[in-house]
Amino acid sequence: MRDANKRKLFDQPPQVVRRWFAIKAIRSSRPYIEGAIRYCLRIKLVIRERRRSAALTDALNATVENFKKSKSAIHFEPLKIFFNLSLFFLLAEKDIQAVKIDALTHADEWKRNLSLRIILLVIHEWDMAKAAPANKLKDAYKVAGISEDLIKEMNLAFRKINKAHARAKQLLSSARHITIAHRDADAMLQYEMIMKIDPLSTMEVASSFYEGADLFVKVLPKVMLEASSTHSLLKQFRGST
């Protein structure tokens, strides 16, 4: 049968034969090409993300240390809210940072897929309203005397992050427990849902999240500095007594 198929192939016009061999060559070499691209991209991302990862770790440690100190200050509730919001954000950011490179470049397809699911799950579950409900945050701005410009910047960052959150829910809501916690008894359903995770769609969500995250990282320290100023601390103290 195989010899007959070969004879049929070689009976075709030369351009058809050439096209067949070209397609076969592309298919056989594609995994090696993709592997080489991922390897080069991994090296590039490791170098590029090293500084961001170190800065994120420093910010996380500094926030934890200062947050612990602020907890003993009973008269500065807005400052505690901002510290809690900052730590809430940094914890999620740290988790995503830990798996981002593997999601894009790991040599093992299953580990890439798992990292993608972790990113989606973190963004899916990450809800800023849990750390600082809108009305509570609005009151904190007012009591701390945060400027309107900074409030507008914060609101813009929130909108971008919430947009990514909504998109992650859309992509993963039906498969959250099945693909991460493996709670469904239907093993084939688990497998099919896992394999349906789209890397491009996931990274679009992550990219959207990072747009808001970058804005948030830039504006939150300004809010913290303003809330820690002598004028703001006196205002908070008067407001709590």
Mean pLDDT for 35-39 is 71
| Nearest CA-CA partner of 120 in 92, 143, 79 | 92
Query: Residue 221: in which H helix or E strand, if any?
Result: helix 199-228
Residue 18 forms part of a structural domain: no
Give me the domain span that covers residue 156.
51-240
Cα(112)–Cα(195) distance, rounded to whole angstroms?
11
pLDDT band of 1, cuts 50, 70, 90: very low
Q: Tell me how far apart the alpha carbons of residues 49 and 38 are, in angstroms, rounded to a whole number.
A: 16
Number of separate domains in the chain = 1
What pTM was computed for the model? Answer: 0.70
Residue 32 included in any domain:
no
Q: What is the pLDDT of residues 10-30, one digit of tens each?
A: 555 566 556 655 566 556 655
* Torsional sign, CA 63, 67, 68, 69: positive
Is there a contact between 224 and 86 (Cβ–Cβ < 8 Å)?
yes
Domain assignment of residue 183, yes or no: yes
88: left (phi over 0), alpha (psi -120 to 50) or beta: alpha
* 35 is a domain residue: no
pLDDT at 12: 55
> What tokens does 107 get?
């040599």
Q: Let me know if residue 40 belongs to a domain.
A: no
By the 8 A CB rule, do 189 and 107 touch?
Answer: no
Q: Is residue 41 included in any domain, yes or no? A: no
199-224: b (≥16 Cβ within 10 Å) or e: eeebbebbebbbebbebbbebbeebb
150-198 per-position pLDDT tens digit:
889 888 888 888 887 787 777 766 666 666 666 667 788 778 877 777 7
Residue 23 lies in a domain: no
Q: Is residue 167 part of a domain?
A: yes
**What mean pLDDT, rounded, does the chain reach?**
77
